[in-house]
């Protein structure tokens, strides 16, 4: 009986990974470079932080933010923090986006103002670029189209089908995406994993993200 139970668990785990490897429609190849930021929140800061980031997202549309960005909030692990993803296809794109931020004076001023408003609410953010390490079994990239993101940040934690990025400090990120919370939680076993949920109202989506999951982005546009 114990042998059959072990087999059942293996089959169930394989099924969960397979479901995660079937991402939403219109998925694209993973970016060559992923900017990952983690911003800790101080106790009691959530409500005001929500107001500021929701306002920033509205201003991003109004003032022409030059690059889409995705906000995510942990459902497990350190919940009092916010993750941010920005994807780039090359170093030259990173540089051109940086110049576009500087040249868009109204957006730059609004962003700077709101960042100052956030300072009493947050701790020191951790931010770094991570480079894609192509894997033969990696799933198509579904950033902004999938509601949940599983991240394994421990070198010993390996997940088949993940997109793998290596930070400039050596940190390894294995990333899987899905629209099914149950499957995300089933794969994310133990403290080596974090399940993140997209926060549309804090994000500035690319058009293809919205086209790929209109249901998720509908609330943010209302």
The pLDDT tens digits of the residues spanning 15-61 come to 344 444 444 445 578 999 999 999 999 999 999 999 999 999 999 99
Report residue 193's pLDDT band, with 50, 70 and 90 as the boundaries.
confident
pLDDT value, residue 78: 65
Average pLDDT for the chain: 84
How confident is the model over 143-180, as pLDDT tens digits? 999 999 999 876 666 667 789 999 988 888 999 999 99
In which region does residue 172 sit, left (phi positive, over 0), alpha (psi from -120 to 50) or beta (all else)? beta
pLDDT by residue (tens digit) across 97-129? 999 999 999 999 999 999 999 999 999 999 999
If one compares 138 and 94, the residue with the highest pLDDT of the two is 94
Give ∠ CA 180-185-191 in degrees, rounded to 5: 150
| Distance between CA atoms of residues 26 and 211, nearest Å | 8
Using pLDDT thresholds of 50, 70 and 90, give the confidence band for residue 135. Answer: confident
Residue 140, pLDDT score:
84
Which domains are present in the chain?
Answer: 2-221 (3.30.70.100)
Contacts of 35 by beta carbon, 8 Å cutoff, 6+ apart: 84, 85, 86, 87, 88, 94, 127, 128, 129, 130
What pLDDT was estimated at residue 62? Answer: 97
Q: What pLDDT is recorded for position 213?
A: 93
Please say if the pLDDT value at position 181 is more than 50. yes
Q: What is the pLDDT of residue 43?
A: 93
d(CA 83, CA 77): 12
């Amino acid at each position: 009986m114990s042998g059959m139970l072990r087999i059942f668990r293996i089959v169930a785990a394989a099924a969960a990974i397979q479901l995660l490897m079937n991402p939403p429609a219109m998925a694209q190849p993973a970016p060559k470079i992923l900017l990952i930021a983690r911003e800790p929140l101080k106790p009691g800061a959530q409500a005001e932080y929500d107001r500021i980031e929701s306002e920033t997202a509205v201003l991003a549309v109004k003032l022409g933010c030059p690059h889409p960005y995705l906000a995510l909030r942990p459902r497990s692990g350190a919940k009092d923090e916010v993750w941010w993803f920005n994807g780039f296809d090359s170093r030259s794109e990173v540089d051109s986006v940086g110049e576009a931020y500087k040249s868009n004076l109204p957006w730059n001023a609004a962003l700077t103002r709101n960042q100052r408003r956030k300072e009493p609410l947050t701790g020191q953010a951790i931010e770094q670029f991570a480079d894609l390490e192509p894997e033969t079994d990696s799933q198509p990239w579904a950033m902004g189209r999938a509601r949940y993101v599983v991240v394994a940040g421990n070198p010993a934690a390996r997940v088949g089908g993940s997109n793998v990025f290596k930070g400039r400090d050596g940190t390894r990120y294995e990333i899987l995406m899905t629209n099914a919370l149950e499957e995300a939680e089933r794969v994310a076993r133990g403290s080596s994993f974090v399940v993140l949920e997209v926060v549309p109202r804090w994000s500035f989506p690319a058009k293809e993200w919205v086209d790929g999951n209109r249901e998720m982005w509908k609330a943010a546009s209302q």
